Structure 1
Amino acid sequence: MIKAIIIDDEPLARLIIADYLKEYDDISVITECSDGFEGAKAIQQHDPDLVFLDIQMPKLTGFEMLELLDKIPNVIFTTAFDEFAIKAFEKSAIDYLLKPISKDRFEQAIIKFKNNYNTLSAPTNTDKLNSIMEEEILERIVVKNGTQIKIIPVQQISHLEAYDDYVKIHTKEGVFLKNKTMTSFEKQLDPKQFVRVHRSFIAKVDQLAKIELLEKESYIATLINGEKINISKSGYARLKQIIGL
């Protein structure tokens, strides 16, 4: 039996999907969730084979919710906005259903899922999802803080720092860890606001107070909050280009 979870903030959308699924004897709806917080908990608890996931939801978007998961399941996204679907179709990574969802289109998505179900691997599916998510400019970052979920607007960040397999996100409220690479953040953060100044640091440009020569071809920056970060030769060149030095 294929275990499915429906995650959508619209009751009517959940009702339609659940109604369509009644025709498939081999698919069982384990639970329905109305937001990303509930969805993340349900996925961790039930380990579903298939998730129907809305992208535009309050509190957490569908993409943000996926970032909180240790293991990403097979996902069929549902959305009312063509711009998201177009990107997915171009990548052919997973299926998207545009709202309002027709029965015929829903059936096509189920057939596609079943045809690939036995060949889909978690790492491949995760990589494809990450490649889609990395195309979006971040406006906020969602992190796990113990048992709590913290939403950090990018405007609150002073800088980011590499930390083994994690990234330290430095803010006025403290430092938060995110299991993500510096390269991913470099791709997703607005390049007009954030610059990779060193292999270990990404700086928010408006938080730089002073830049000094440390030694030949390397520099050190003092931030408005008094913290210091290293700047490499290539990082300094990128920084000069952005701030017009």
Structure 2
Amino acid sequence: MIKCLIIDDEPLARSLVAEYLQRHPAIQVVQECGNGFEGLKAIQEHQPDLIFLDIQMPKINGFEMLELVEQPPGVIFTTAFDAYALKAFEANAVDYLLKPFSQERFDAAVHKWLDKRHANTADNTPANLGEVPAKQPEEQLRIVVRAANDIRIIPVKDVLYLEAYDDYVKVHTPEGLFLKKKTMRYYERTLDPNQFVRVHRSFIIPLTQLTRIEPSEKDCHVALLKSGVRVPLSRSGYSRLREVLGI
């Protein structure tokens, strides 16, 4: 038996997917979820083979939820918005169903996933999400992270600075340090460039936290933040910071 989840905040949309799945008796719906929090918990509990995932949902959106899944199942996105198709496929989605979709279009997506499953070619890892810039306003205003078994939503206004850490980014906040599986390039392209400046290969700082720029040895400079942290500035980062500051 193939286990699947339906994750969508619209009850009618969930009902439609469940109805269409009646043509596929080998696929069992183990749970329906109304938001990303419920979806993440259900994925951990049931370890499904496939999920039907909406993008625009309350609390956290579908992309943000998917980023928090360590071993993601196959994903077929179901959404009323076509603007996110490219990002969906870059997230290794099996297919992207634009609402309203027909039984035939739904069946084609399911058969596509079944073919990949039988051929052992399905790759569910959202490897590219760390590079794809956010297209939804909420992703530009917040960072969603996992902290133990909890999900934390960090407003970008609360970020003290960002620091590269292998395949992750350290998000420094007044409440502590959180890890996010993203890239520095992602945040450089997503955050407001007039408020957040990449001052070093390993650091992005918000201008609201900058108190002053100090010279260092060998014609180098450091940025002193309100928290007392001293962030090194590369030559290009120093020039970029001066340009944004207008000095």
Percent same amino acid among aligned pairs? 55
Change over 3 Å in CA distance of 1:239–1:179 after alignment to 2 = same
The reply on whether 1:210 has 2:212 as its aligned counterpart is yes
Cα-Cα RMSD: 2.3
Is the contact made by 1:217 and 1:232 (CA closer than 8 Å) also made in structure 2?
no
Change over 3 Å in CA distance of 1:100–1:169 after alignment to 2 = same
The alpha carbon displacement at 1:101 in A equals: 2.5
- Structure 1 segments, 4+ long, off by >6 Å, are 89-92
For residue 134 of structure 1, give the secondary structure of its aligned residue in structure 2: coil
Q: CA deviation digits over 1:174-203, x for unaligned, max 9? A: 332323333333333232322221122111
The alpha carbon displacement at 1:116 in A equals: 2.1
The alpha carbon displacement at 1:12 in A equals: 0.7
Change over 3 Å in CA distance of 1:45–1:164 after alignment to 2 = same
TM superposition score normalised by structure 1: 0.88
Letter in 1 for 2:183: T
For residue 41 of structure 1, give the secondary structure of its aligned residue in structure 2: helix
**Separation in 1, partners of 2:162, 2:63:** 21
Letter in 2 for 1:231: L
Is the contact made by 1:198 and 1:232 (CA closer than 8 Å) also made in structure 2?
yes
Change over 3 Å in CA distance of 1:60–1:11 after alignment to 2 = same
1:186 aligns with: 188
Letter in 2 for 1:194: F
1:94 aligns with: 94
Is the contact made by 1:198 and 1:230 (CA closer than 8 Å) also made in structure 2?
yes
The reply on whether 1:29 has 2:32 as its aligned counterpart is no
Equivalenced residue count is: 242
The alpha carbon displacement at 1:147 in A equals: 2.1
**Separation in 2, partners of 1:148, 1:92:** 25
**Separation in 2, partners of 1:92, 1:204:** 32
2:76 aligns with: 76
For residue 69 of structure 1, give the secondary structure of its aligned residue in structure 2: coil
> Mind listing any 5+ residue stretches in structure 1 that lack a counterpart?
none
**Separation in 2, partners of 1:53, 1:114:** 17
Is the contact made by 1:93 and 1:128 (CA closer than 8 Å) also made in structure 2?
no
Change over 3 Å in CA distance of 1:192–1:94 after alignment to 2 = farther
**Separation in 1, partners of 2:53, 2:90:** 19
TM superposition score normalised by structure 2: 0.88
> Mind listing any 5+ residue stretches in structure 2 that lack a counterpart?
none
Is the contact made by 1:79 and 1:85 (CA closer than 8 Å) also made in structure 2?
no
The reply on whether 1:146 has 2:171 as its aligned counterpart is no
